[in-house]
Structure 1
Amino acid sequence: MKNTVSIIGSGFSSLAASCYLAKAGYEVTIFEKNATIGGRARQLIKDGFTFDIGPTWYWMPDVFERFFSDFNKKPSDYYILEKLNPAYSVYFGKNDYITIEDTLEKIYNAFEEEEKGSSQKLKKFINIAKSNYDIAIKDLVYNPGVSPLELVTPATIKKLNQFFSTIKKDVRKEFKNERLVKILEFPVLFLGAKPSDTPSFYSFMNYADFGLGTFHPKKGMYQVILGIESLAKELGVNIKTNAPIENIIVDNGSAKGITSKGKNYYSDIVVSGADYHHTETLLEKPLRQYSENYWNKKTFAPSSLLFYVGFDKKLKNVNHHTLFFDVDFDVHAEAIYDNPKWPENPLFYASFPSITDSNSAPEGKEAGIFLIPLAPGIEDTPELRETYFNKIIKRFEVLTSQNVQNHVIFKESFCLNDFINDYNSYKGNAYGMANTLLQTAFLRPKLKSKKVNNLYFTGQLTVPGPGVPPSLISGKLVSDLVIKHQS
Structure 2
Amino acid sequence: MKKKIIIIGSGFSSLSASCYLAQQGYEVEIFEKNSSIGGRARQLKKEGFTFDIGPTWYWMPDVFERFFADFNTTPQAYYDLIKLSPAYKVYFSKEESITIGDTLDKIYAAFESIEKGSSQKLEKFIEKARSNYDIAIKDLVYRPGVSPLELITPQTATKLNQFFSTIAKEVRREFKNDQLIQVLEFPVLFLGAKPSDTPAFYSFMNFADFGLGTWHPKGGMYQVILGLSELAKSLGVKINLNASAEKILVDNHNKATGIISNGKEHQADIVLSGADYHHTETLLHPELRQYSETYWDKKTFAPSSLLFYVGFDKKIENVEHHTLFFDVDFKAHAKAIYDNAEWPEEPLFYASFPSKTDDNIAPKGKEAAIFLIPLAPGLRDEQSLRERYFKKIIKRFEEITNQNVSNYVIFKESFCVNDFVKDYNSYKGNAYGLANTLFQTAFLRPKLKSKKVKSLYFTGQLTVPGPGVPPSLISGKLVAELIKKHN
CA distance in structure 2 between the aligned counterparts of 1:96 and 1:180, rounded to whole angstroms? 12
Question: Match of 1:258, SS?
Answer: strand
1:18 aligns with 18
1:165 aligns with 165
CA distance in structure 2 between the aligned counterparts of 1:142 and 1:312, rounded to whole angstroms? 45
- Compute the displacement of 1:97 (Å): 1.0
CA distance in structure 2 between the aligned counterparts of 1:216 and 1:336, rounded to whole angstroms? 28
CA distance in structure 2 between the aligned counterparts of 1:329 and 1:478, rounded to whole angstroms? 37
1:232 aligns with 232
1:134 aligns with 134
2:255 aligns with 254
1:89 aligns with 89
2:486 aligns with 485
Q: How does 1:430-441 map to 2 (within 5 A)?
A: 430-441=431-442
1:386 aligns with 387
CA distance in structure 2 between the aligned counterparts of 1:181 and 1:484, rounded to whole angstroms? 44
- Compute the displacement of 1:218 (Å): 0.2
Q: Which runs of 5+ in 2 are unaligned?
A: none
2:457 aligns with 456
The answer as to 2:420 corresponding to 1:419 is yes
Q: TM-score if structure 2 supplies the norm length?
A: 1.00
- Compute the displacement of 1:222 (Å): 0.2
Question: Match of 1:299, SS?
Answer: coil
Q: How does 1:300-449 map to 2 (within 5 A)?
A: 300-449=301-450
Identity within the alignment, %: 76
CA distance in structure 1 between the aligned counterparts of 2:440 and 2:360, rounded to whole angstroms? 39
Cα deviation code 1:248-286 (max 9, x no counterpart): 000020000000011000000000000000000000000
Question: Match of 1:451, SS?
Answer: coil
Residue 398 of structure 1 aligns to which amino acid in structure 2? E
Residue 113 of structure 1 aligns to which amino acid in structure 2? S
1:266 aligns with 267
User: What number of residue pairs does the alignment pair up?
Assistant: 486
Question: Match of 1:41, SS?
Answer: coil
CA distance in structure 2 between the aligned counterparts of 1:169 and 1:352, rounded to whole angstroms? 33
The 8 Å contact of residues 95 and 400 in structure 1, kept in 2 or not, is answered as no
CA distance in structure 1 between the aligned counterparts of 2:193 and 2:157, rounded to whole angstroms? 24
2:469 aligns with 468
Residue 120 of structure 1 aligns to which amino acid in structure 2? Q
Q: Which runs of 5+ in 1 are unaligned?
A: none
Question: Match of 1:120, SS?
Answer: helix
CA distance in structure 2 between the aligned counterparts of 1:133 and 1:381, rounded to whole angstroms? 41
CA distance in structure 2 between the aligned counterparts of 1:95 and 1:51, rounded to whole angstroms? 30
1:34 aligns with 34
Residue 267 of structure 1 aligns to which amino acid in structure 2? A
CA distance in structure 2 between the aligned counterparts of 1:258 and 1:96, rounded to whole angstroms? 55
Residue 356 of structure 2 aligns to which amino acid in structure 1? I
The 8 Å contact of residues 51 and 308 in structure 1, kept in 2 or not, is answered as yes
Q: TM-score if structure 1 supplies the norm length?
A: 1.00
CA distance in structure 2 between the aligned counterparts of 1:456 and 1:441, rounded to whole angstroms? 16
Residue 339 of structure 1 aligns to which amino acid in structure 2? N
CA distance in structure 1 between the aligned counterparts of 2:280 and 2:485, rounded to whole angstroms? 23
Structural RMSD (CA): 0.3
- Compute the displacement of 1:203 (Å): 0.1
1:109 aligns with 109
1:75 aligns with 75
1:58 aligns with 58
CA distance in structure 1 between the aligned counterparts of 2:186 and 2:313, rounded to whole angstroms? 31
Residue 455 of structure 1 aligns to which amino acid in structure 2? L
CA distance in structure 2 between the aligned counterparts of 1:293 and 1:177, rounded to whole angstroms? 41
CA distance in structure 2 between the aligned counterparts of 1:477 and 1:159, rounded to whole angstroms? 24
CA distance in structure 1 between the aligned counterparts of 2:400 and 2:210, rounded to whole angstroms? 25
The 8 Å contact of residues 4 and 269 in structure 1, kept in 2 or not, is answered as yes
The answer as to 2:245 corresponding to 1:245 is yes
- Compute the displacement of 1:95 (Å): 3.9
1:152 aligns with 152
CA distance in structure 2 between the aligned counterparts of 1:98 and 1:105, rounded to whole angstroms? 14
Residue 234 of structure 2 aligns to which amino acid in structure 1? E
Q: How does 1:169-184 map to 2 (within 5 A)?
A: 169-184=169-184
Question: Match of 1:448, SS?
Answer: coil
The 8 Å contact of residues 162 and 199 in structure 1, kept in 2 or not, is answered as yes
CA distance in structure 2 between the aligned counterparts of 1:6 and 1:264, rounded to whole angstroms? 12
CA distance in structure 2 between the aligned counterparts of 1:40 and 1:316, rounded to whole angstroms? 29
- Compute the displacement of 1:32 (Å): 0.2
- Compute the displacement of 1:96 (Å): 2.2
Cα deviation code 1:43-81 (max 9, x no counterpart): 000000000000000000000000000000100000000
Residue 213 of structure 1 aligns to which amino acid in structure 2? G
The 8 Å contact of residues 90 and 97 in structure 1, kept in 2 or not, is answered as yes
The 8 Å contact of residues 95 and 401 in structure 1, kept in 2 or not, is answered as no
